[in-house]
Amino acid sequence: MRRSRKVKILATIGPASSDEAMLKKLFEAGADVFRINMSHADHDLMRTLVGRIRKVEKAVGRPIGILADLQGPKLRVGKFANGREALKVGQTFTLDDNPEPGDSTRVFLPHPEILASVEPGHRLLIDDGKLALKAVETDGKRIVCTVVAGTAISDKKGVSLPDTVLPVGALTEKDRKDLDAVLAAGVDWVALSFIQRPEDLAEARKIARGRALLLSKIEKPQAVARLDEIMELSDALMVARGDLGVEMPLEAVPGIQKQITRAARRAGKPVVVATQMLESMISAPVPTRAEVSDVATAVFEGADAVMLSAESAAGAYPVEAVATMSRIAEQVERDPTYAAVINGQRSVPEATGADAISLAAREIAETLKLSAIVTYTASGTTGLRAARERPQVPIIALSPILDTARRLSLLWGTHCVVTEDARDLDDMVNRACRIAIEQDFGEPGDRIIITAGVPLRTPGSTNMLRIAYIGTDGKGGR
């Protein structure tokens, strides 16, 4: 099944979309990768969902990626004697280590790392920013604050700390157990929540040991400040706009989205734009005009994927949400200005053989108006470098490794096919031509360009370009 767009769709699955028949409908509507949110899925449910996705994959004959999203640290205040308290702007309110129920002057904060790290002047945002506090006095056991905005606080509301770097890693004990479980289940990508610094990836990478790729969710200002370092250690990035919009001024988020997207493109790392993209479709069969423009902006920026959250997980119209997102992307990519925007953001290739080959393949394919770029890739690296170029022609990534094809399903413009390794150069060309026809990317008389490494079956050795005619027998010719 060939997609008629280059950007990929990442669909979250949940109560509205977890049975096998619905998963198949979501794939047919346009979902390329499925997200399992470990904030809402226990290990048994996660394994069930992975099994169902793999059955759908077998039924449709296309590699499908699975991303498991770890919950990350959930920072919350304690409970109140009355469940809820009214506050006034300008009053004093304290968060402390006293486990007694709170009142209108104080509440228990069961996070000693916060009590030890917040300094006077730091902001504390409660309940997604509905209540804003500013620390005026701290001693490691309590944080005395002034109420800056908001009028109420209630049990177990979340705490965001835009000015504070916590001296703890991003993995909680729950995350470690979840990570072991999702790796054992064979997911392809693991998303790490609330990354603050590059060191936060170290433990997850040590546990993963290459069994899955790591996607860092950029949702804190501390992560934005150290973006380049975090990107260096990440396999992909996500612009998690929901939490970014809580901890940073809302008007700053669109610019940050562009910064992250372009930085990831320069580095050749996949980037996903997420949160509230078609939010109104949770309860309505059509999106708002503003939401359509929001999705279009991400596509124009050259994001590898756009994500649906509650729209596909718990909404009333999951299939319609995926199909709508797919139609928006297709329309944007047909727009006359799209190619100019994508080309204008193209980066200078790195001084490596793989980048030089990928650049040459794109330029030749576009100059000669070839039907496709076919790249042989075992580890996925060659596919990544080909997609970094954002060619106007499709990329067909051929891999003998199913895990590689599943991982590359997140990648912009890349159509993944699992096939045996080529036996020799003639077989390599013939196989590429045959698959181009089978997958509806070419027909006899068309030309394709092939990139591969010689000697064959040598990972990381991409060093060859070959232009081939597709013969009437489906084989390649000069």
Active site positions, annotated? 35, 76, 217, 275
Q: How far apart are CA 434 and CA 94, in angstroms?
A: 69
Residue type, 276: Q
Q: How far apart are CA 369 and CA 447, in angstroms?
A: 8
Return the residue matching tokens 């296309």: 62
Q: How far apart are CA 394 and CA 200, in angstroms?
A: 36
Give the distance from CA 109 to its chain's centroid: 32
Q: How far apart are CA 300 and CA 322, in angstroms?
A: 18
- Per-position b or e across 407-423, b if 16+ CB within 10 A of its CB: bbbbbbbbbbbbeeebe
Q: How far apart are CA 81 and CA 14, in angstroms?
A: 34
Which class for 463: exposed (0-12), middle (13-18), buried (19 or more C-beta within 10 A)? middle
User: DSSP class of residue 16?
Assistant: T
Helix, strand, coil shares, percent, the chain, to 5? 40, 25, 40
How, if at all, do strands 447-453 and 462-470 pair?
antiparallel
Beta-bridge partners for 101:
none
DSSP assignment of 383-447 equals HHHHHHT--SS-EEEEES-HHHHHHHTTSTTEEEEE-PPPSSHHHHHHHHHHHHHHTTS--TT-E
DSSP assignment of 295-349 equals HHHHHHTT-SEEEESHHHHT-S-HHHHHHHHHHHHHHHHHSTTHHHHHHHTPPPP
DSSP assignment of 258-305 equals HHHHHHHHHHT--EEEESSSSGGGGT-SS--HHHHHHHHHHHHTT-SE
Nearest alpha-carbon partner for 276 in 318, 320, 317, 306? 306
